[in-house]
Structures are given as C-alpha cells and as structure tokens.
Chain A
Amino acid sequence: MDNFLGWEPKDVLVKHGPTKLLVNKYHWHSPRVGIVASYTPTARDVEDHFGVFRGVDQIEAFAQATTGTCNVFLECEKQGLTPVELMEVFLPRFISVGQVIFHNYLEVDDTFISIGNIKFYKFRQMVCDGRIYKVPAGLDLDDYFSDFNEERLLAYDISPDFTLIADLSDITGRAIKKELIDKLSQL
C-alpha cells in the first residue's frame, strides 16, 4: 500500500473507538511527510459542554489523525504487518503535547480537518506539528485535497475559506510493546 487513502480510520486506529475514535476520513497522506484527516463532532462529543467540542478533544483528534495514523503506517510498512496485526504487539501511547494555541472553537456538526506534518520519527516515536481548520460548509474534502502536495501541506496552503481553529506543536506519540506495558503494570 502507498498510503492510508481509502482506508477507514477504524481499520487503522483499531484500538480506538467507537466512541473514542475522533477521525472520520483521510483526505491526503504522504507517509513520510504528513496527513490531512477530518472529523465532525457528534452530539455525544459535546454533551455536557454547552455544545462546544472540547479543546482537549481537538488535541486528541489531531493526535489520532497525525502521530497515531502515520506511526501505524510506517510501522506496518517496516514490519510487513496489517494494522490489526501490529496492534496485537503494540499499543499506541500519547506521550506529550508541546504548545497549543486555540484561535477559535468548534461546535457540534462543524467538520474540521487536522493537517499534520511529521517532524521526527525514530524508535517508534513520532512528533508532529500542525493545525486544525474548520471546513467551509458543503466543501467536498476529497475533491479539494485530490491535488494537494507536500509543499502545500508544509505551507498550510489552503483556501482562506477554512477557519483556523488551533496551532499545535510537538504532539508526540509512540508505539509501545504490549509486553513492556504489561511488565510495568505488574510492578
């Protein structure tokens, strides 16, 4: 496989969800550079939070779309495994967050994209920077990103009709062997 385009996020992030999976679709993916993925908050996502999608969930959605997904791809490629097979051996762990600046907010049914670029990938640890944008109503994201490229991703070169919601840096995740986690839990 060349990338995760056409894959269902639930078949990639197989340990997330269904209520905790915050990625609906992949629209662009260059395995060593970055990814564009979307999500639309549901009524359940904003429950007890005055209709607003929480900032912490924005960060989680971004991490699932970027470090989570991109790490799974590269590890599957390296080890010749499917995501399901990979997750029998490894578990994804959200390691740390650098800086997050919120510029705006998202409400129920607001579709947003996470645009992430890979800054570091080694020893199954991945660091991504990126942005979250609210998508203009009615836009066909698959069509819009069909001719996207790496240069445009790195420059966040998208239409001004997208609304900047958040800037995120140093979002770090790692695939950790289950046996290590099991060992630690027994200490």
Chain B
Amino acid sequence: MERQEIIDGLVEILKTVRTINQEKLVGVTEDTDFIKDLNTPSTEMINIVAKTEQKFDVEFDDDDIDGLGSKVKDVVDLIIKTKEKEQ
C-alpha cells in the first residue's frame, strides 16, 4: 500500500470527525500534526486510531498507541509496520 493511499484514507476518516475543522483537511501531508495543525482533541486521537484499524484492516498493540506521535507520518508508519508484522 502506497503512503499517499494511506494519507488519503486518513483524510477520509478525518472528514467524519466533527471536532476537526474540515477546511484544514485540504493539503494534509505526512508532516501535518493532528493536534497542532488540525486542533484534534487528544481524546479524539484514540477514536481516529480505532477507525484507522477498521479502515485499513489492521490491529494495533496498546503499546504502539502509547508511544504514537501526533503527525500523520507517525500513523502512516504504524500502519505499514503493523501490516508488515501481520504478514
């Protein structure tokens, strides 16, 4: 799965999060920070990660989430790492 494909999928998830300003979803890149750039409430991050599991058909470990950074890149890396581990 290409990284841009994952970013597009993440943006689709973010479009369903009412606490995120939808106008800020234009131009999301790997460097976009969920908290600083999109003003995502930290509580919402867990919901986003849970939706990410469903969308990309992966299962993250609790420990992975404990150390997860707040940039789009961090989630992309985690999805790729988890998919590789599951294969």
Contacts and interface: CB of A to CB of B under 8 A. Distances in A.
Nearest to A174: B46
Contacts of A122: 46, 50
A10 interface: no
Interface string A153-182: 000000000000000000010101100100
B67 A125 contact: no
Interface in B42-83: 42-43, 46-47, 49-50, 60, 62, 65-67
A63 to B, nearest CB: 13
Interface size class of B (residues with CB under 8 A): 10 to 19
Nearest to B49: A123
B43 A123 contact: no
Interface of B: 41-43, 46-47, 49-50, 60, 62, 65-67
Interface of A: 95-96, 120, 122-125, 172, 174, 176-177, 180
